[in-house]
Amino acid sequence: MADLTGQRLSNQYILEERIGSGGMADVYKAWDSSRAINMAIKVLRAGYSNDPRIRKMFEDEARILKDFGHPNIARLYEFNQHQGHYYLVLEWVDGQSLDKIIKARGNPLSLDEVSKILFPITSALHYLHNNNYLHCDIKPGNILIARNQKVYLTDLGVSRTSKSDSTGGTPPYMAPEQFKAAKVSPQTDIYALGITVYEMLSGGNLPFNGKSTQSVGSTLSEKIAWEHLNLPLPPITKYNRQVPKSVCVVMNKALSKQPEERFRSANDFYNEFEKAKIGVSSAPSQNSVQSLTSATTMFFGNLKSALESRPDLPGGNGQIPTDFDRKYRGKPRLIGLSGEWKQQIILIQHNFLSLGRNTQMQIRFSDRRVSRMHATILKNHQGCWIKDENSSMGTFVNNRKVNGTVKLNHGDQIKIGINEVLEYREK
């Protein structure tokens, strides 16, 4: 395969170093001379440029990324071609892939370390699934950890709509239905994520690697496929005795041979992992599927008069009385004090809430002083945090600029852009 290091694409992108290679493309660290920042350039190999099927997969990846705006999915800047080279210009993530981290570590990751990776990845998966897309190639090599600890899900090259039949993938992480050319579903991604979690907790060991004495097949891929289809999941305690039984139960469910026996959503997987980690067991109900992309917004006709009753306080015409939303006490929520979401109550029902100007944001603003991906609210069993997503105007909590991730406390006022003010409540 030709190394394009040193070449310039479209008189703008200087390919400085090849940092990765996949089945059909190479990824380079590049310098964007127009924006004066680093970019990741994914270049389709020359041998595939004339293959309509491969080129369509590459173009599909660009189309999918163009429409998406999730903070844990690397942003697409451009899809172009130069002298026969088709390429994607992606957000540069200064960090390492999870597979390299696992290999360098040599020992199992702790449960808390796994949680910190699982949370943003399940959030990104929910986002894909609720937009009717499947990733179909979840694995440590497609998860990037930035130096600032932000986690990214990458490589949507083989992703498909939820109506698609079986797709490609990487054998050690593929679900049984993929080997049987059966229909894929969100549970297919959950299975691959389960293998990834298994690998983190086992210190780099895969449950199905084609090396069992019982394996049947003439190639390694065939042996791996046979193991996925026929062998029970090796107990993770074989590699890590510190994994509690409650977590083993969660792993067994995520890695069930039958898709319908796995978790109904990536969000359920994360929530049950968290419960198992802290020793709380709870069987997921039939109504436990939650959509991360549809924030529940409640409108109250008498909110306007309540605000006007306190013209002396911040938030436009006044502050919302403390007892106004008493029926929602104990539930985390945002209350619009000024701006586009004024006089609205937003219940934070899921573990991820995106705010910004992009059409894919759950809480969307039309004010152009709000960045496309402005901020994210993250929720787990310990509470809610807000994180600024490198917005141009900044995110402020109680008039203090957010740097990194800040825990929200009852009564905190959040400022997005210039005019958008939300109050966080949880009591």
Q: Catalytic amino acids?
A: 137
- The Cα 381–Cα 279 span in angstroms is 13
Bridge-based pairing of strands 363-364 and 25-32 is: unpaired
Is residue 288 within 8 A of residue 395, CB to CB? The reply is: no
With 0-12 / 13-18 / 19 or more C-beta atoms within 10 angstroms meaning exposed / middle / buried, residue 46 is middle
Strands 37-44 and 85-91, bridge-based pairing: antiparallel
Q: Which pairing describes strands 76-82 and 8-9: parallel, antiparallel, or unpaired?
A: unpaired
Q: Which two tokens stand for residue 214?
A: 């019982």
Closest by CA to 154, choosing from 206, 97, 109, 199, is 97
Cβ atoms of 185 and 128 closer than 8 Å: no
Contact 111, 204 (CB under 8 A): no
Question: Do 332 and 425 form a contact (C-beta atoms < 8 A)?
Answer: yes
Residue in 45, 61, 57 with CA at minimum distance from that of residue 156: 61
Residues 266, 193: contact at Cβ < 8 Å? yes
In 131-211, which residue ranges form alpha helices assigned H by DSSP?
176-179, 186-202
Q: CA–CA separation, 308 vs 318, rounded Å?
A: 6
- What is the greatest pairwise CA distance in the chain? 78
